Structure 1
């Protein structure tokens, strides 16, 4: 691993809130580009080699944000590194029903072992290019459903007037059936 990765891992790993680091408070100047790429299937690479340590992928995913310029950055309190993302940075691996506040809600499970409830705050969108749905999560990020999660979600949808309709609490997505 190179010095930039080691530096980020050591800074963040010491006093981290693994669930919700305060990225909104971290605004260091750009440190440069780092040779990290997230492939369209959600695989993380560093200098062309797969990052095999899942804990390291989860750590880096927790400090990833997309900024207004459309670029993705790994951010710590003192460093900010631009990375490459081919499509969406994260992958939805499953959807399931749950109940919150007496309402039936959809829960998306991501490839980084995090779950997000589909809601108006974390909505689903249909990605025409990928032919599947994405969920919007904090820090400007999105997660694309993999094929298995997409098929499961379609099976969970109601069919109404030539649309697949997904409801989660007060959120609703209507996808035209072709």
Structure 2
């Protein structure tokens, strides 16, 4: 196993990406695993190196562009020549804003992540509802790309709940939103209506 790289080394090997449009094809790269690096993404979407927040937004965007979530449920920064494992507390991104727009298929939700990525809620980028294992509260996510999700922050989730349609179900109502002609459930409310 090779010695893990430092963030500066990884950034240097990715300078060629700045000139290309779109995201690099990290799912097609199979470089050697070089070990763990002391990098962590906290639940609020902040990136940390050696316990300190990474303050340079451009560096965070560069690292996020080569992030991959593999079948072993681990997260890696992947370049054509090396792969290092990092820690992710929950999801690597956070949805910080939602806008409803008109489309040929009716209303559509456009989500914006903490690093500025824009994602339309659709079949390829679905809403995924989970339950927080510690609090039992709903934990909503949106698939951003490949196997990478974004946690919807509390304010955006409350916005979605306010805009949701209440559909009667046994014992209460189910809250649903529609985007690109698809319905997405935000969960059930007992005795609501």
* TM-score (ref. length: structure 1): 0.92
1:92 equivalenced with 2:92 (yes/no):
no
Distance 2:86 2:72 in 1: 13
> By how many angstroms is 1:3 displaced?
5.0
Q: Work out the number of aligned pairs and report it.
A: 177
Distance 1:165 1:15 in 2: 39
- Cα deviation per residue 1:11-47 (whole Å; 9 max; x = unaligned)? 1122343632111221111111010001111111000
Match of 1:163 in 2: 174
Match of 2:15 in 1: 13
Structure 2 gaps, min length 5: none
Moved over 6 A (4+): none
Q: Of 4, 7, 13, which residue of structure 1 is paired with 2:6?
A: 4
Where relative contact order (Cα < 8 A, 6+ residues apart) is larger, the structure is: 1
- Cα deviation per residue 1:121-159 (whole Å; 9 max; x = unaligned)? 110011211623100122311000111111111112111
Distance 1:75 1:59 in 2: 11
Match of 2:116 in 1: 113
Structure 1 gaps, min length 5: none
- Alpha carbons 1:64, 1:139 under 8 Å: kept: no
